[in-house]
Amino acid sequence: MIRRASIPGRINILGEHTDYAGGCSLAFASQHRLILEAEFIESGVFGEETVVALWSEAGGPPARLNVSSNIPIGKGMSSSAALCLGIVLCVHGDSLDRQDACKEAQRLEHVVLGTPCGLLDQMAMMHSIEECCTLIDFSSLETSTIPYPNTWKFKLVDSGIQRTLNSEDYRQTTSEVKKKLHVREENARVRQALNSTNEQLGELMNQTHESLRMIGVSTPEVDSIVKSLQSKEGVLGARMMGGGFGGMILVLVENDSVLPQHPLLVPSKAGFIEELF
Ligand code: GLA
């Protein structure tokens, strides 16, 4: 038997560095996908080293493991959360509910990859619905599905700065006071976004970037790329996305002809598993 897991990338509109602090986020699943194929065999576990380590920690049976993915790696789109979720779905099939699958994938990321992540990535990947975004409240782990207005035009621009998050930096070295202020204001921005015009949404994204800079998860190089994008004609807002220190910049544009070399993001469906015999 072969199990095949298909997991999307994660786009976070607003609500960055709030998940592990019981805040909220507005996110969606992107059209990018990671596919993990697990062929169950008699003995042994074969595949790339990290994949085998994750599979063993998850208690997977003998298998041949093959990963293909177009989720950019180390770019703030949660390629590692997608891999961990793929492992969990292939090991457990349909026997875990979505939220338990998210928590198990988070555990694997903590234990095997050494990243002390929250649940944003996993929940956005497992609870999202096509043409919608997902409001996640991390204080209760409740999600609500919000229709994605067709006037929202998001694009990604690669800062070209590679990052890793298995460092202490991820949970910020800044003061507790600044962190608390960031989460409080970020939560307010998430709520405001639900009733805002596109111009206001862009402005909220700019404010988020400024706040990420204040808590010390951006870099001067990223700040200058964000700034130049923000001042570009037709750009309504831009901010660094994900854990920080580089990776993708999320840009809200007036229409598709702005930044023409970058494709529009399309809210896609959640992670799922299929069995092939
Ligand atoms: C990474 C982590 C998430 C979240 C974001 C920042 O993607 O994996 O849990 O904390 O950073 O919002």
State in Å: Cα 257 to ligand 1 middle.
30
Q: List phi, psi (to 5°) of 54.
A: -65, -40
CA-closest residue to ligand 1 atom 8: 117
What Å distances lie between residue 101 and 18, 40, 110, 252, CA to CA? 21, 20, 14, 31
pLDDT digits (tens, 9 = 90+) for 83-142: 999 999 999 999 999 999 999 999 999 999 999 999 999 999 999 999 999 999 999 999
Dihedral of CA 250/253/255/258: which sign? negative
Stretch 258-270: mean pLDDT, rounded? 98
Stretch 228-241: mean pLDDT, rounded? 98
State in Å: Cα 277 to ligand 1 middle.
36
The tally of CA atoms less than 13 A away on the side-chain side of residue 243 is: 27
Comparing CA positions, the residue from 183, 193, 145, 189 lying closest to residue 29 is: 145
Q: Which atom of ligand 1 is nearest to the CA of 20?
A: 10
What Å distances lie between residue 211 and 26, 183, 194, CA to CA? 17, 9, 20
Q: pLDDT above 70 covers what percent of the chain? A: 97
The pLDDT assigned to 166 comes to: 54
pLDDT digits (tens, 9 = 90+) for 41-84: 999 999 999 999 999 999 999 999 999 999 999 888 999 999 99
Query: 197: how many CB neighbours lie within 10 A of its CB?
Result: 10
Find the farthest-apart pair of alpha carbons in the chain and give their distance in angstroms, rounded.
59
The pLDDT assigned to 221 comes to: 96
Amino acid at 94: D
d(Cα 187, Cα 83) in Å, to the nearest integer? Answer: 28
Which tokens belong to 125? 């990947």
Q: Which residues of 145-155 are buried (b: 16+ CB within 10 A; e: fewer)?
A: eeebeeebbbb
pLDDT digits (tens, 9 = 90+) for 7-31: 999 999 999 999 999 999 999 999 9
d(Cα 271, Cα 94) in Å, to the nearest integer? Answer: 12
d(Cα 209, Cα 237) in Å, to the nearest integer? Answer: 10
State in Å: Cα 240 to ligand 1 middle.
12
State in Å: Cα 81 to ligand 1 middle.
10
